[in-house]
Amino acid sequence: MLSGGGRSEVVASQSVVIGDETDAERVLSAKDGCLFSDSGRIEKRRRYSALPETLAIRVSYRDFGCGRAKRGGDGTLSRFAGQSYPSGSPPLAEKLTVGNTRTGTLSLPFWIVVGYVAVLLALGAWAARLARRGREGFFLAGRELTAPLVAVTVTGLAIGGASTVGVAQKAFSGQGLAAGWYGVAWSVSALVVGLIVARRYRRLLVVTVPEMFQTYYGPSGRLACVVVQVAVQIVITSLQYVAGGAILHALLPEVFTSLHQGMVFSAVVFIALTVVGGLWSASLTNVLNVALIYAGIVLASLLSVRAAGGWQAMVDLLPAGEPYLHPVAGLGWRQIVEFVLVMVTCNIAFQATVQIAFAARSESTARRGFVAAAVLILPVSFLAAMVGVAAKAQFPDLGDSAAALPQLVGSLHPAVAGVTLAALWAADVSTACGLLLSSSTIVVRDIYLRYVRPQSRPEHALLVNRLVVLVIGLVTLALAWQINDILKALMQGLSLTTGPTVVVLFTFFAPRLCRRSSAWCTILAGIVTMVLWFAMPQTRLLSHVIFQEWVVCLAVFLLVPLVDRRRVTVATA
């Protein structure tokens, strides 16, 4: 509301605005606001320090900074005489805050997130009771996951910080709607795993991928697989902290005053849930998380376009001549193929994914769960890309592209912002818990119980596993401080799984070509290829490291039989 004179305070859906009518009536936004001419048509969007002189401005409460002005009633702040603003912050403007709250109170989004965390902890407590059923109760949920639980657990693993915040970041930065192909790549990989390898994995009755390598390729193959699996999962887990911190800092700045504070809080919750309930925690919380993710991302995508003034108004605000709204041009088919190849390569032998297949109630359950997950995963990244495009229209000068999605969500109605914030953060929770668990499972099963204390009692192994989750959580949090580009780091890190994937495929489908040293040599070749790619750019013969990894790993695997005559015996699948 606007007072009759002196200082006036307006609580808008995006920010608190304070001006002084006795000197000059002015409307300022905490972010880049929409400026309207007398007709109500969008005229320009710039920071207030660059406002043109003498411009009549009309602002809407409901659509503050978003593309529509309304006359009179609940929503119109009023029409202000144009003023000449000097460069820099106007002297009478006070600090603006996001979250439509008055000083001294916490925002509605904050309380929605608090409620969500409380439900998560309750589910974690329930999961802790289920996880007490021995080692497999913690590692594999007692191999009792039904097809729906397999589906939501895989979906939760897929829809993390990269699928939401990372995709919106890329869409904002120029890829536009094409950034959504990341979700298609994940969906295709889930389908491939479900149709080709999920039943075979479930049949093995092992707990980790390295354990399978031990069966066929001996200790050296197992050790090589452990190194790759842990390294890749540590990188991906770190990304979840970055995304979680960006979400909390952008939408709850009154609580999380920096990105790092948001990252630390995210890490605490991720680690706590995993320590308490293991895979049961990941599976049960994902029932809530997936539902919340869909509700939040659908709301955000629809309302973000509406907030921009509708489709055509959003189009008018986007940079001219750039393919923000083209489904392919922002990436190109070559990069799309890279996305798909990276994700399929990763998930065929990725412990976090395969562990879900190991935990399924039966072979058919594993297959049906992965196929259902492929359907659930498909639309989410395109919806996140749409939000990133809308953010580009409304906040074109945003300095931190990783904040594109959280920033736009913060401009929506507080209830919608709260639900979407919880949904985005739920995406991080679902992915991070699965990654922390799979990393600790490998360290405990393939290193501690094999080389340090093979005769450990189940209770001791469970305690060690929880301590390992804590250690890995702290290590990945430290690494998260160094990561800037979420999706780029993910794509490069996942390429390292090419070696294990080549070994798995030959083991299942061409065992006659497998030799005892095949796994060790192939995985080592993949590691060397990755190191050279970054250390010596002149060795980059192909457009993406994933292509070079496949060429090198296939070549090495096929050459090994020329020097190693020890055949591997693989049971008929």
User: How many Å apart are CA 324 and CA 88, to the nearest integer?
Assistant: 31
Residue found by looking up tokens 């080389």 in the block: 451
Asked if 221 contacts 213 with a C-beta cutoff of 8 angstroms, the reply is: yes
Pair 318, 439 in one domain: yes
User: How many Å apart are CA 417 and CA 421, to the nearest integer?
Assistant: 6
* Lowest-confidence segment of 22-31, 277-286, 391-400, 430-439 by average pLDDT: 22-31
| 87 belongs to a structural domain | no
* SS3 annotation, 206-219: CCCHHHHHHHHHHH
- pLDDT at position 525, please? 96
Which tokens in the block code for residue 271? 């680690």
| 316 belongs to a structural domain | yes
| 92 belongs to a structural domain | no
Model confidence band, residue 364 (pLDDT cutoffs 50, 70, 90): very high
Supply angle C-alpha 59, 61, 64, rounded to 5: 60
- pLDDT at position 127, please? 64
Pair 285, 382 in one domain: yes
| 90 belongs to a structural domain | no
User: How many Å apart are CA 150 and CA 83, to the nearest integer?
Assistant: 60
| 499 belongs to a structural domain | no
Pair 188, 313 in one domain: yes
Question: Could you tell me which of 282, 268, 272, 347 has the C-alpha nearest to residue 138?
Answer: 282
Report the mean per-residue pLDDT for the chain.
Answer: 75
> How many domains are contained in the chain?
3
Hey, which residues does 567 pair with through a beta bridge?
A: 515
Alpha carbon 203 to its chain centroid, in Å, reads 31
Arithmetic mean of pLDDT, 7-33: 31
- pLDDT at position 53, please? 30
156 versus 538: the higher-pLDDT residue is: 538
Question: Could you tell me which of 144, 157, 143 has the C-alpha nearest to residue 207?
Answer: 143
- pLDDT at position 175, please? 92
Any idea what the CATH number is for the domain that residue 483 is in?
A: 1.20.1730.10
Pair 289, 185 in one domain: yes
Domain ranges, residue 286: 108-493
Distances (CA, A) of 72 to 83, 145, 442: 22, 57, 63
Query: What is the per-residue pLDDT across 115-135, written as a single tens digit (0 to 9) for each?
Result: 887 887 777 677 666 655 555
Given 65, 80, 95, the domain boundary residue is 80
Pair 402, 539 in one domain: no
Which tokens in the block code for residue 438? 């799979």
Asked if 13 contacts 413 with a C-beta cutoff of 8 angstroms, the reply is: yes
Pair 524, 430 in one domain: no
* Lowest-confidence segment of 62-71, 473-482, 489-498 by average pLDDT: 62-71
User: How many Å apart are CA 14 and CA 62, to the nearest integer?
Assistant: 9
Which tokens in the block code for residue 115? 């409620």
* Lowest-confidence segment of 141-145, 366-370, 437-441 by average pLDDT: 141-145
Pair 273, 401 in one domain: yes
Pair 40, 177 in one domain: no
Question: Could you tell me which of 560, 558, 529 has the C-alpha nearest to residue 546?
Answer: 529
Which tokens in the block code for residue 159? 């829809």
| The residue type at 494 | L
pTM of the complete model beyond 0.85: no
| 463 belongs to a structural domain | yes
CB count in 10 Å sphere of residue 323: 17
Query: What is the per-residue pLDDT across 273-291, written as a single tens digit (0 to 9) for each?
Result: 777 766 666 667 777 778 8
Sign of the C-alpha dihedral, residues 533, 534, 540, 544?
Answer: positive
399 versus 567: the higher-pLDDT residue is: 567
- pLDDT at position 176, please? 92
- pLDDT at position 23, please? 27
Asked if 307 contacts 394 with a C-beta cutoff of 8 angstroms, the reply is: yes
Q: Is the pLDDT of residue 389 over 60?
A: yes
Pair 180, 309 in one domain: yes
Q: What DSSP string describes 315-340?
A: HHHSPTT--TT-TTTTT-HHHHHHHH
User: How many Å apart are CA 29 and CA 77, to the nearest integer?
Assistant: 13
Query: What is the per-residue pLDDT across 539-553, written as a single tens digit (0 to 9) for each?
Result: 999 988 899 999 999
Asked if 25 contacts 80 with a C-beta cutoff of 8 angstroms, the reply is: yes
Q: Which helix (H) or strand (E) holds 16?
A: strand 16-20
Angle at which helices 181-192 and 380-394 cross, to 10°: 170
| 1 belongs to a structural domain | no
Pair 302, 381 in one domain: yes
Pair 123, 43 in one domain: no
Supply angle C-alpha 147, 297, 420, rounded to 5: 110
Q: Is the pLDDT of residue 379 over 80?
A: yes
DSSP 8-state assignment for residue 133: S
Percentage of residues of the chain with pLDDT beyond 70: 74
- pLDDT at position 466, please? 85
Pair 555, 483 in one domain: no
User: How many Å apart are CA 66 and CA 29, to the nearest integer?
Assistant: 11
- pLDDT at position 279, please? 63
DSSP 8-state assignment for residue 476: H
Name the phi and psi angles at 149, rounded to 5: -70, -40
Question: Could you tell me which of 271, 275, 273, 286 has the C-alpha nearest to residue 146?
Answer: 286
| 472 belongs to a structural domain | yes
Question: Could you tell me which of 466, 207, 462 has the C-alpha nearest to residue 356?
Answer: 207
